[in-house]
Amino acid sequence: MQPQQNPKTNRDSLIFALIVMLFIAIFAKAFHVQIIESDFLQDEGNKRQIRSLEIPAPRGEILDRNGNVLALSTPIDSIWVDPKILSFYLDSQQQKQKTNLDKLSVSDYSKRQALIEEKKQAYQTMLSLLGVSARSFTPQVLAKKNRRFLYVKRGVLPELTAKIEALDVPGLYVQNQYKRYYPAGEVVGHLIGYTNIDDVGIAGIEKTYEDWLSGVAGKKQVIKDRAGRVVEFVKDIHPAEPGKPITLSIDKDIQFFLYHALKKSFIKHQASSIMSVILNAKTGEVLAMVSLPAFNPNDRSQLKGARLRNRVISDRIEPGSTVKPFIMAKALDLNLIHLTDKIHTSPGSIHIQGQRITDTRNHGTLTPAEVIKFSSNVGATKIALKMTPNDEWQMYHDVGFGQDLGLFLPGETLGFLRPANEWQTIDQASASFGYGFNINLMQLAHAYMIFANQGRIKPLSLLKLNDVPEGHQVVSKEAAEAVLEMMEKVVGRNGTAPQAKIEGYRIAGKTGTVHRTKIGGYEQNKYIALFAGMVPVSNPKYIMVTAVNEPSRGIYYGGKVAAPIFKEVMEEVLRLKNVAPDERIEDDRK
């Protein structure tokens, strides 16, 4: 007889077998998850937690020739929200739809409502700190509740961002960026330009050298929690590359002197605009450039209207009598006149093709030097008519009138100089005293380099130069030096610009006073006052050209309005740069 099996033993064996099988299944699943599918599941987890964030790159600094910072990038933040998340706390109807009230106890309901009110209050506090109107912004959030992105405010300082992040507003995010800051403000506004809200250069040096100044954003991996906050840094994918710095030819101190002198004159003469430029007479480097009305690039509310125009390069002007030295230099170079010649200007006027050309008074018989000293239109006309129209046109072309300056600044105008084969006699005569064509002020300053460099002209530069360019010869050394000496008499006694005189220094210059143009002719009572000067004559270091547009206090001559600005600025520059006096004793007897 067979012994009977104990049912209890069978049941225990079965349970044991089931337990073993369960552990084997668990082990197999664990092995499958942790070994076989480990990489796949890790990747899937990362997709849900790890995010790639852009690392903003600062733009390169803009420096003056002495290393002073004219533009730099400062950390700034943009605050944005996820309307899909935030709208839940602002829309009571949406709260009802997303919550089963029947399943909530009174206690849970109260807690939920308290949380919603807390988040609403945090939201209101955020808007208050940012200066954003809840009345206008909240409807935007609700209107875009199915979207995932909406800017609250851009350009927020990091200190304020920290306060806002501490509020723990639902669906709020911070985007780190950089903002451009200009320490000198409107003193360098037109020259340096500015960037847009996305930190892209759109004016001045910022635009011209955008590719050089702009950086390359980097990327990093981080882990975010369910609220979208960064809780852990993973790794850098590639670092941000800052933009490259650039050193300009500008001298911040000279720029400062020029700006404040122009501001004072602008107010004194109630001008519609005023502009000036200072060059290194030997290298062609632009040391200062100012235009008024100006704007502060740090204040975005000012970035509109006519004040944005850099008038030094964008305004076309007829240069008036400031071009007479070029006519004189060309005539001397061609041996058409000599220093001892006598030029009859009586009775103070001349008729050309039915047009009357006049002087301010009857100067009688003048030497070439006196034609420049007294700024005789009749004398300049008679000298110009000794040469061919092409000779005169070629002179203006050789000094750069109507041509690209090579500075690549936005807004530059080339001016207009008609071809010589289209000139009539009256055109040639008018051009000899600066009418009938137009240029910008920078072109005029550039042209004056021939008198500082023994007849050679050199290219302009807005970047600090290590090597001085050689340039090319326009007129002979003898002709250029002779005219430079003539222009020295303009600033002397009985000249047209004694107010440009600086004690202890020899100054050379030329005045100009031109009628403002209008469609079909000229304004009778509106003028532009000009002065172009160089110092010191013995070895010219600085060229400064100034134009005052529509002075309206009854004084409008270049020698009375523009020449004093030259004196005020250059006195400071010569002192600052320790330029030795070069005045000759005999100058006192001029």
Which are the catalytic amino acids?
A: 321
Q: Which residues lie closer than 8 Å to 525 by C-beta, 6 or more apart? A: none
CA 115 to chain centre: 50
Consecutive H or E run containing 482: helix 477-490
Q: By the 8 A CB rule, do 475 and 457 touch?
A: no
Selection from 229, 417, 219, 189 nearest residue 312 by Cα = 189
Structure tokens at 196: 């847009």
What span, in angstroms and rounded, lies between the C-alpha atoms of 195 and 179? 9
What span, in angstroms and rounded, lies between the C-alpha atoms of 58 and 218? 11
Radius of gyration of the chain (CA): 38
Question: What is the DSSP track for 465-512?
Answer: -SS----EESS-HHHHHHHHHHHHHHSSTTSS-GGG--TTS--EEEEE
Q: Which residues lie closer than 8 Å to 301 by C-beta, 6 or more apart? A: none
Consecutive H or E run containing 524: strand 521-535
Could you give the angle at the alpha carbon of 282 between the alpha carbons of 411 and 273, nearest 5°? 35
The amino acid that residue 285 corresponds to is E
Report whether the peptide linkage leading into residue 75 is cis, meaning its omega lies within 30 degrees of zero: no
Q: By the 8 A CB rule, do 387 and 180 touch?
A: no
Selection from 257, 288, 291, 289 nearest residue 271 by Cα = 291
Structure tokens at 51: 């995010």
Strand order in the sheet with 521-535: 286-292, 273-280, 542-549, 521-535, 508-518
